[in-house]
Structure 1
Amino acid sequence: MMAADYMRQKLTSFTEAVFPVRGVRDQRQHHLLRPGNEIVTSLPLQMALYFNVFFFPFWIITCIVMLDLKFLYLQEINQFIYITVYVIMSGTEVMRLYLGYLGNLQERVPELAGFWLLTLVLQLPLCAFILLIGSMPFPVERAVHIVFLGFVVFEVIIGYIALKVMSNHQVMKFHLQQFDDVIEMQNGHPYSETDPLT
């Protein structure tokens, strides 16, 4: 373990000697103590997304099997509605889970906002529609829709809280960066205009 740390330290020193970067180490040490650089990834949202990813294939397989069993007994309009809703929900769910993972783990506000909007505008109404207005529901079908609706409602609430915290955090980081830039200008830039190397 000590040999690996020693090797890492030597490689870091060599890299900084060959590719000099202006005060990166000082800035790193400085920013580690700043209040705007803590991680704000939402653990409850990530747990919900994690379990939702595993539940989604079970949900879609159950929906397809149940639709196949009752397809011939449905009216043509209901057949069309079911197929359309399941196709839209499946495509939206893949995109929604991807944006949720990306936005939450990498702290990207646009992706997290896209996840939250897809959850609120598409998945929540469609899931409620299938659960409440769907015709001839089997008990298994109703059970998987209730669990799916539980995931969606929980992710709408937790996603809103995570989005609010993350956007406030990004604003604070922006203001801290502006403050650091002002301090750097007041203290003098490492590479001034009189430096012959610039």
Structure 2
Amino acid sequence: MFRPTIKQRGESRNRSTFQPSSTDGVVLQCDLLPSLAFFYDSYVSFQVLLTAAGNECLRLYLGYIGNLSDKVPELAGFWLLSLVPQLPLQLFLLLNQNIMLQPLEQIVQSLSVLLLIIQLLTGFFALRHSSKVHAEQSRLRILLWTQQKDD
């Protein structure tokens, strides 16, 4: 390890002192870069997995409640959580070059992304159909209410 020394008054000039140059920072960065890159990749991958797992639980809960009770807000929440955080996180886990995936992991992750895209497409059409049905039911209730009020 390099230790800088501070020159005292009256010391002779032939002692080595720390003289910063432009190459010191480059050498320091090159020495620390591989270990920091490994830590960064490990940390980011762990955080992505943790976030994807938590998001998956919330997403599946909203989809389950939205489908069983035919609630549009829960279905919309399911679809938005699938689109915004889940798809980019899954694509990161699949396409990140710093993560060394085994062939089986690549197959499973590819299948997961494919199923997520299928869920996004079918969820969009199901959400659109459900919102149209709810809008029609609401319009008919209002029409029925106004007819009963007039009678």
TM-score bracket, shorter-length normalisation: 0.7 to 0.9
The 5 A counterparts of 1:2-17 are none
For residues 35-61 of structure 1, what are the alpha-carbon distances to aligned partners after superposition, in whole Å with 9 as ceiling and x for unaligned? Answer: xxxxxxxxxxxxxxxxxxxxxxxxxxx
Instruction: State which of 156, 159, 172 in structure 1 corresponds to 2:120.
Output: 156
Query: What is the deviation of 1:118?
Result: 0.4
Q: TM-score, normalised by structure 2?
A: 0.72
Residue 85 of structure 1 pairs with residue 48 of structure 2: yes
The whole-number CA distance in structure 2 between the counterparts of 1:81 and 1:144 is: 20
Secondary structure (helix, strand or coil) at the match of 1:147 reads: helix
The 5 A counterparts of 1:71-150 are 75-134=38-97, 135-150=99-114
Instruction: Return the letter of the residue paired with 1:87.
Output: L
Higher relative contact order (CA 8 A, sep 6+): 1
Q: Which runs of structure 1 show a deviation greater than 2 angstroms over 4 or more consecutive aligned residues?
A: none
The whole-number CA distance in structure 2 between the counterparts of 1:81 and 1:143 is: 22
Secondary structure (helix, strand or coil) at the match of 2:100 reads: coil
Secondary structure (helix, strand or coil) at the match of 2:70 reads: coil
The whole-number CA distance in structure 2 between the counterparts of 1:165 and 1:96 is: 20
The whole-number CA distance in structure 2 between the counterparts of 1:103 and 1:91 is: 18
Instruction: Return the letter of the residue paired with 2:132.
Output: N
The whole-number CA distance in structure 2 between the counterparts of 1:91 and 1:151 is: 18
Superposed CA RMSD in Å reads: 1.2
The whole-number CA distance in structure 1 between the counterparts of 2:104 and 2:39 is: 23
The 5 A counterparts of 1:152-191 are 152-187=116-151
How many residue pairs are counted as aligned between the two chains? 114
Query: What is the deviation of 1:159?
Result: 0.6
Instruction: Return the letter of the residue paired with 1:102.
Output: I
Q: Which residue of structure 2 aligns with residue 14 of structure 1?
A: none
Q: TM-score, normalised by structure 1?
A: 0.56
Instruction: Return the letter of the residue paired with 1:84.
Output: Q
Structure of higher CA gyration radius:
2
Q: Which runs of 5+ in 1 are unaligned?
A: 1-73, 188-198
Q: Which residue of structure 1 aligns with residue 28 of structure 2?
A: none
Percentage identity across paired residues of the two chains: 35
Query: What is the deviation of 1:186?
Result: 2.4
The whole-number CA distance in structure 1 between the counterparts of 2:111 and 2:131 is: 29
